[in-house]
Amino acid sequence: MSDPVSPQLAHLIDGYRRFRRTGWTPRVERWRELGEGQNPRVMVIACSDSRVDPAQIFDTDPGEMFVVRNVAAMVPPFETAPGHHGVSAALEFAVQVLKVDEIIVLGHGMCGGCQAALTQRLHGAEPGQGGFIADWIALLDEARGPVIAAHGTHGPAAERAMELAGVRTSLANLRTFPCIATKEARGTLRLTGAFFAISDGVLHLLDQQTGEFNPVA
């Protein structure tokens, strides 16, 4: 007897069968090539939020982007303290082994992680009860100061400012990794800040000269 399938899993399996029929089978040659190895030219760091799927937003195929998703699309600074540095391991692989040409940090609208960073409502929570999130989004504490000074801790303007500040923070932290800073200085690696909200469906790119996010025409 096989395990019972939940309605949620059944829904995903329906999607898998559709993909096999319309996405996989017609392009089996391409997938066989990918079976030999991957050579993505871009790394994307995005939020785990269900509304911001990089492959959908950029309409890419398997093999095109190396993606890390986590709460609030954060990159921690370069740290050598003991611990399990998941983002740093992925960065190391993308930059040193795959040798990607571009890293994009993709923030998004209505980000719960950024909102929690703003309100600090999980401050002091136990691990497993919000404490892991609180610790993770403490990466935004420094960026939070100017945001709350300008907009307070609640409301759409404060939230958007925090979301955009999160992208800038992750970019700044990327540059604390020596291998990334070196490659960027040499011109062999580009760092890009981006922002997308499903509500208006508009991608914004950070102009690193002005610090402004501008919509992509």
Name the residues that contact Zn ion, by CB under 5 A: 47, 49, 111, 113
Q: What angle do helix axes 141-151 and 112-119 make, rounded to 10 degrees?
A: 80
Of 95 and 164, the one with the shorter C-beta distance to Zn ion is 164
184 vs 101: CA distance, rounded Å = 10
3-class DSSP assignment, residue 1: coil
Which phi and psi (to 5°) does residue 49 adopt? -50, 140
Closest CB to Zn ion among 95 and 147?
147
State the minimum distance, in angstroms, from the CB of residue 45 to Zn ion. 12
**Smallest gap from residue 83 Cβ to Zn ion (A):** 22
Q: Considering the complex, what minimum distance in angstroms separates the CB of residue 99 from Zn ion?
A: 28
| β-strands 212-215, 202-207 pairing | antiparallel
Kindly state the smallest distance separating residue 42's Cβ from Zn ion, in Å. Answer: 20
Q: Tokens standing for 177? A: 């990794």
Nearest-approach distance from CB 33 to Zn ion, in angstroms: 33
Please answer whether residues 194 and 204 qualify as being in contact, where contact means their C-beta atoms are separated by less than 8 angstroms.
Answer: yes
C-beta closer to Zn ion: residue 111 or 161: 111
Alpha helices for 112-177 (secondary structure H): 112-119, 131-137, 141-151, 156-174
Closer to Zn ion at the Cβ: 47 or 189? 47
Name the packing angle between helices 112-119 and 156-174 (round to 10°).
100
| Most distant CA pair in the chain, distance | 62
Residue nearer to Zn ion on the CB measure, 159 or 189? 159
